[in-house]
Structures are given as structure tokens and as C-alpha cells.
Amino acid sequence: MPLNPLYISHLASGGLITNYYCSSACRHCLYRCSPQWPKEYISAEQARENLQTVRRLGCLAVHIGGGEPLLNPEGVAAVLEVANQVGVHIEYIETNSSWYRSHAAACTLLDSLAEQGLSTVLVSISPFHNERIPFYKVKGVIAACRETGISVFPWVSDFVADISTFDDQKTHSMEEYQQLFGEDYLERLPYRYWISPGGRALETFGRFSTQKPISQLAAESSRGCSELAEVGHFHIDLYGNYVPGLCGGLAIGAEDLGTPLDPETYPIISRLYSKGIGEFESYATEVYDFTASQAAYGSKCELCYEIRRFLVVEQGVDSRELQPQGHYVYG
Ligand code: SF4
Ligand code: SF4
């Protein structure tokens, strides 16, 4: 049976990934960002191309995320300027607050970004972030936003009480949280926080899921991964990769959006979209001699990631659709 090509004909809501390097390495990070990534940042030209693509496909507003975007304030300013020129509204910038040094310096930076049109900052608040970033920095950024008239989107306020139990001048490990709030603290986090089942969340939370044999996962996803067609929370990165759905490590060239994907160029995404994880596993076994390391997995996405990592890291596959390679190398 021929493959049914994925066709992204329009975009609803999403974001621009300006960089993958990050001052944190959160256990749940969908894009496996960390300090290990090279310090590469989106150029003004790539930002323009991405935003023109987004606009062409009907989306007139995006957010800016990373990695930590504000590790390069000049880069953020350039993106804001380009967004103004292209006519795409920037809804907010996400930040982990690690860049905070003093109230005065934070106000100066935020003032200058407000002049470029920045109106809202999404401030990350979670125990994952608190493993690497002292909470006084988060509070400092929130105070600086208030002083400079920038709206704060706290994500998520529900954790403030937990985090405030500890010394805000220091970082605190998940083990400390578990000692204080119970051994099952980590396991319960997905009930309090929207965590996408991808990226490092696969390793962090997969063990808490019911383990299913590959044959069962294949049968359950035999109608294909419709997630790949989701356009309600898309991302386009600094290399011109459109991330289909929330499937970090898979990529469609931004130039290929707006037309049905060619299965010759996108054999993996086409198989996953048409026939699901079973078809992808059969393809990887047949063409690349893949052998699963486990008999059962917590989700189809865990197996999907294991196969993709095998292709990139073990087999040296360099394809348009397994990008950025750092997702597999630095993750
Ligand atoms: S979740 Fe955000 S702060 Fe944490 S590693 Fe990923 S990009 Fe960095
Ligand atoms: S199995 Fe792969 S393609 Fe399908 S939803 Fe999971 S990560 Fe995405």
C-alpha cells in the first residue's frame, strides 16, 4: 500500500527556536537542550525566512523559545526587529532566568527589548529548572518585568510554594524534592505540569508507564502518527527545521511546507505518518539492521527515539528528516 504523504498546508500557533544551547539541562526538556550544544544562534536572515514561511502559511503570531533565548540579547533584539518588518507578532519570549545578574541590569535589558516590541515574558518555574537555576534569579526577572511594564506569564505558579521551601540562593536537586515531598514526587509531576512525552522526558518518565510489547505498540499506532500533522504548537528552528508535531529530532525543511512531502526525501516521517511505529521499526530493521534493546517500551515514542538515535549515532545516517543531529548527539 502506498504511503500517505504528510501535508502541512497551514500553521495555527507556534514558536521560533533561536538556539539549542542552554544554561540548564532539564530532565523533561523536549528538545534536549543543554550547555553541551554549540553556541549557535538564529541569524537575522534565517529568522526572516522562518517568519515569512510562518506568515505564508497563515500564522501571524509566534513565541520565541530555545534553549535559553536571552543568553544572546543582541540575537533576540535582531529577531524582534525582523518580526516587526515581516509583520509577525511576538507573543512572548520564554526564559529560564539564568541570565539574571542584578535588578538594574535586568531592567536595562528588558527596557531595550520592550522598545523593540516585547510585551510578555514566559518565566519558567519548576523543580526541573530549580535543579540548575537558583530561585532568586527567577524572582529577580519577575520583579524586573514588573518594573519595566512587561507582562509575566509564570509557567507554572503552582510550583512556587514547593520551590520556596528551599534556600533561594542555591540550586536544589530532584532528590532533595523527593526527600521533602515524598519518593513519588517526580512521578507525580506530570499531573501538575504539562509535559510532552518526548525528548529527555522519555528517559525521565518512561519507566513510570505501563510497558507494552513492540507488537502491541505497532498495532495501536497502525493508522499512523497523526501527531505529526498537529499545527497548534509547532516550532521552526535556527537551522530552518520545521519540527512536526512535538516530535523533537524529526524535521521537515521549512521550504517543503505547503506541499505534500515526498516519501523519497522523507522516508521515515512518511512511514510514521502513514503506518506508525511498527512500519518504522520494520524499515529500520530491514534497511539498517536495527534490533530493539528491549522487548517492551513505555510508549511508541520511546522506541521511535531509540531507532532514530541508532540511525544517527550508530549508523551515521545524515538525512534531512533526522535533524538537528545534536538532538541525538548532545541530548
Ligand atoms: S526546558 Fe528550557 S530551560 Fe530547561 S533545558 Fe530545555 S530549553 Fe533549557
Ligand atoms: S512515535 Fe515518533 S513520530 Fe510518532 S508521535 Fe512518537 S515521536 Fe512522533
DSSP 78-138: HHHHHHHHHT-EEEEEEE--TT---HHHHHHHHHHHHHTT--EEEEE-SHHHHTTS-HHHH
Task: Give the whole-number percent of the chain exceeding pLDDT 70.
Answer: 100
Give the ligand at the shortest distance from the Cα of 214: 2
Put simply, whether the predicted model's pTM sits higher than 0.95 gets the answer yes
pLDDT band for 194, please (50, 70, 90 cuts).
Answer: confident
Q: What mean pLDDT do residues 191-195 have?
A: 90
* For residue 104, pLDDT beyond 90: yes
What residues have CB less than 8 Å from 72, skipping those under 6 apart? 18, 19, 41
Q: What's the confidence (pLDDT) of residue 1? A: 66
Q: What mean pLDDT do residues 266-290 have?
A: 98
In whole angstroms, what is the distance from residue 185 CA to residue 190 CA?
10
* For residue 107, pLDDT beyond 80: yes
Residue pLDDT, tens place only, 18-50: 999 999 999 999 999 999 999 999 999 999 999
CB contact at 8 A, 141 and 123: yes
Residue pLDDT, tens place only, 205-228: 999 999 999 999 999 999 999 999
Closest listed residue to residue 307, CA positions, set 326, 331, 291: 291
Which residues' Cβ are closer than 6 Å to ligand 2? 198, 225, 227-228, 245, 247, 272, 277, 300-301, 304
Q: What's the confidence (pLDDT) of residue 2? A: 81
Using CA positions, which residue lies closest to atom 7 of ligand 1? 67
Q: What's the confidence (pLDDT) of residue 205? A: 95
DSSP state of 173: -
Domain 14-208+229-260+320-329 matching CATH 3.20.20.70: the answer reads yes
Q: What mean pLDDT do residues 112-137 have?
A: 97
In whole angstroms, what is the distance from residue 119 CA to residue 145 CA?
10
Cα angle vertex 107, ends 101, 111, to 5°? 140
Q: What's the confidence (pLDDT) of residue 12? A: 97
Q: Where are the domains of the chain?
A: 14-208+229-260+320-329
Closest listed residue to residue 95, CA positions, set 106, 103, 105: 106
Say if ligand 1 is within 6 A of residue 83 CB. Answer: no
Residue pLDDT, tens place only, 43-54: 999 999 999 999
Average per-residue pLDDT for the chain? 97
Which of ligand 1's atoms lies nearest the C-alpha of 20?
7
Cell of 206: 518512561
* For residue 320, pLDDT beyond 80: yes
Tell me, in angstroms, the distance from the centre of ligand 2 to residue 167's CA.
Answer: 39
Q: What mean pLDDT do residues 9-17 have?
A: 97
Closest listed residue to residue 277, CA positions, set 241, 305, 253: 305
Tell me, in angstroms, the distance from the centre of ligand 2 to residue 61's CA.
Answer: 26
